[in-house]
Amino acid sequence: MEKFFRLKENKTTVRTEIVAGITTFMAMAYILMVNAGMFSALGTVSYGAIYIATAISAVIGTVLIGLLANLPLA
């Protein structure tokens, strides 16, 4: 794993990356709920539609920044 991700070169460890991944996952799960709740409260669009739209846009944005900028952002 060290060779593939160049952890020492980036001054990080496997443990740090796992904690960061779990933290990012929890934050994204929270944002899905909050964003869908806020917009569905307006009464124009359903909770499920906003939930799916938020999830799809997060996936697209995360993949693009990962591939185009080579940054670990979500």
Give the model's pLDDT for residue 64. 94
- Give the Cα-Cα-Cα angle 53, 74, 56 (nearest 5 degrees): 15
Residue 72's SS3 state is coil
Please tell me which residue, 56 or 6, carries the higher pLDDT value: 56
Contacts of 6 (CB under 8 A, 6+ apart): none
Confidence grade of residue 37 (pLDDT, cut at 50, 70, 90): very high
Give the model's pLDDT for residue 30. 96
With a cut of 90, say whether residue 48 has pLDDT above it: yes
Confidence grade of residue 74 (pLDDT, cut at 50, 70, 90): confident
- Of 59, 70, 63, 61, give the one whose Cα is nearest residue 10: 70
Cα–Cα distance measured from residue 70 to residue 56, given in angstroms and rounded to the nearest whole number? 20
